[in-house]
Amino acid sequence: MLNRRLFAGASGTLSAALAVLRPGRKAEAAKPKSFDVEPRGTQGRLERMPNLDTDSRVDFTTGLRRYRTDVLESAARARFNEILQANGLDPKANIPHANFAALVEDDVVIGLEGRVRIDSQRMAHRLFKQAFEREQDRYIAELEAYDKAGPGTLELNPGLVMPDYTRHEIHMQPGGYVGNAFAGAIYHYGTNAFYEAGKIMNYQDEHHAQLASQVPAPADGKMMRILDMGCGIGQLSIALKERHPKAEIWGIDVGAPMVRYGHMRAVDLNVEVHFAQRLAEDSKFPDGHFDVVASYILHHEVPAEASRKIMAEAFRVLRPGGVYFPIDFYTGNRQMPSTAYGNFQEWKDHRWNNEIWRIEYRQMDFPGALKAAGFAVNQDGPAAWYNKANIIGVKPA
């Protein structure tokens, strides 16, 4: 039998909240599980940190991120524009990063904003990782029990051959989404702070509930099978099941710790979702199996080549008339960076936040790639995320 502490480095996870009343919707709570580890209970759907000290540190790092968003970012932008103007450059022009990098790289105000952005994220990741690892034996035992619990199912594929791109530590998350036992929990609590900094509330999955409400139905209204590609910890998958209780919902992701955590949350919330560790570009489902395929912030996290393969796979598994709804940067009416500062911020995200394929993704002709996969493309679909309109790919009947 594997030593639990060694095993924790590759495949453990943490439980999450029991179901409670969801904003605007009643959620049926599951019966408490004897193996559920909740040292300090829950706040609604969200399990509290294991101790008060960790809670306090979370509050600090979240506040620091919010301070960067509210104060430092605007100061850095103003300073950036001043420097460009002083050097005869138009800040409103679409100037490539290489043309101004040397001018701004040593500025204290600009550097402070960037440092606080990166360090607050690193602090949060380290904080959550350490909090879960202190009690890793209990959490792994909990994981093993939840793996076999329902409703819903969990399929893990330890022999899955993973492309190299899946091994990067996206967002600087320790071990990325595949190489740390607690990847699901670190991602969950870490993104709560990210959304809070952007003034988007998601502690009770409010954001994902809104996204689920915006996923469009095919023209015939049939939504009996729905696939969430690159589901991560399954927040959208769960929200889709709560919105469409009669539908069969699947969430797939390459990260075993991510889908294990997602399955654990779904069981706690008494929501029947089927999670599987599979590649989005090779999902193993039959042809024409789904009415709707959705994805959320997936495409900018993979190389353009993989992105095109994912579109082709979405087309294959959709039935005629089925809908693909990819929600991401630039899949709606949000404009790509058109100013020097916009290019600078995107470059920083790519370089320092380990968004390896962010710029490559931006350079894609996304609607054109969907059309090449076979989709009829509607660029005026429902609002999603911060997009007032979002791309829909429809498989011709």
Res 16: pLDDT: 32
Helices (H), the chain: 4-11, 52-67, 73-86, 101-104, 108-134, 136-147, 183-197, 206-214, 235-243, 256-268, 304-317, 340-352, 358-362, 366-373
Contact predicate 196/65, CB 8 Å: yes
Res 31: pLDDT: 58
CA 134 to chain centre: 25
User: Can you give the length of the chain in residues?
Assistant: 397
Q: How far apart are CA 91 and CA 74, in angstroms?
A: 14
Contact predicate 390/214, CB 8 Å: yes
Q: What angle do CA 133, 280, 179 make, to 5 degrees?
A: 20
Contact predicate 8/133, CB 8 Å: yes
Contact predicate 262/249, CB 8 Å: no
Contact predicate 311/386, CB 8 Å: no
Q: How far apart are CA 58 and CA 76, in angstroms?
A: 25
Considering the domain delimited by 52-128+149-394, tell me its CATH architecture: 3-Layer(aba) Sandwich (3.40)
DSSP string, 207-248: HHHHHHHHSPPPTT---SEEEEET-TT-HHHHHHHHHSTTSE
pLDDT tens for each residue of the chain, 397 residues long: 233 222 333 333 333 332 333 333 334 555 567 888 898 999 999 999 988 999 999 999 999 999 999 999 999 999 999 999 999 999 999 999 999 999 999 999 999 999 999 999 999 999 999 999 998 998 888 888 999 999 999 999 999 999 999 989 999 999 999 999 999 999 999 999 889 888 899 999 999 999 999 999 999 999 999 999 999 999 999 999 999 999 999 999 999 999 999 999 999 999 999 999 999 999 999 999 999 999 999 999 999 999 999 999 999 999 999 999 999 988 876 666 789 999 999 999 999 999 999 999 988 999 999 999 999 999 988 888 878 889 999 999 9
Q: At what angle do helices 108-134 and 340-352 cross, to 10 degrees?
A: 30
Res 193: pLDDT: 85
Res 252: pLDDT: 98
Q: How far apart are CA 248 and CA 242, in angstroms?
A: 11
Helices (H), 244-336: 256-268, 304-317
Res 323: pLDDT: 98
- Tell me the two tokens of residue 169: 């530590």
How many CA atoms does the CB half-sphere of 358 hold within 13 Å? 19
Query: Backbone phi, then psi, for 149, in 5-degree steps?
Result: -90, 160
Which sequence spans correspond to the domains of the chain? 52-128+149-394
Contacts 24+ apart (CB under 8 A), 51-54: 51/131, 54/127, 54/131
DSSP state, residue 106? T
Q: How far apart are CA 14 and CA 201, in angstroms?
A: 22
Residues 6+ apart with CB under 8 A from 323: 216, 217, 218, 291, 292, 293, 392, 393, 394, 395
Beta bridge partners of 376: 394
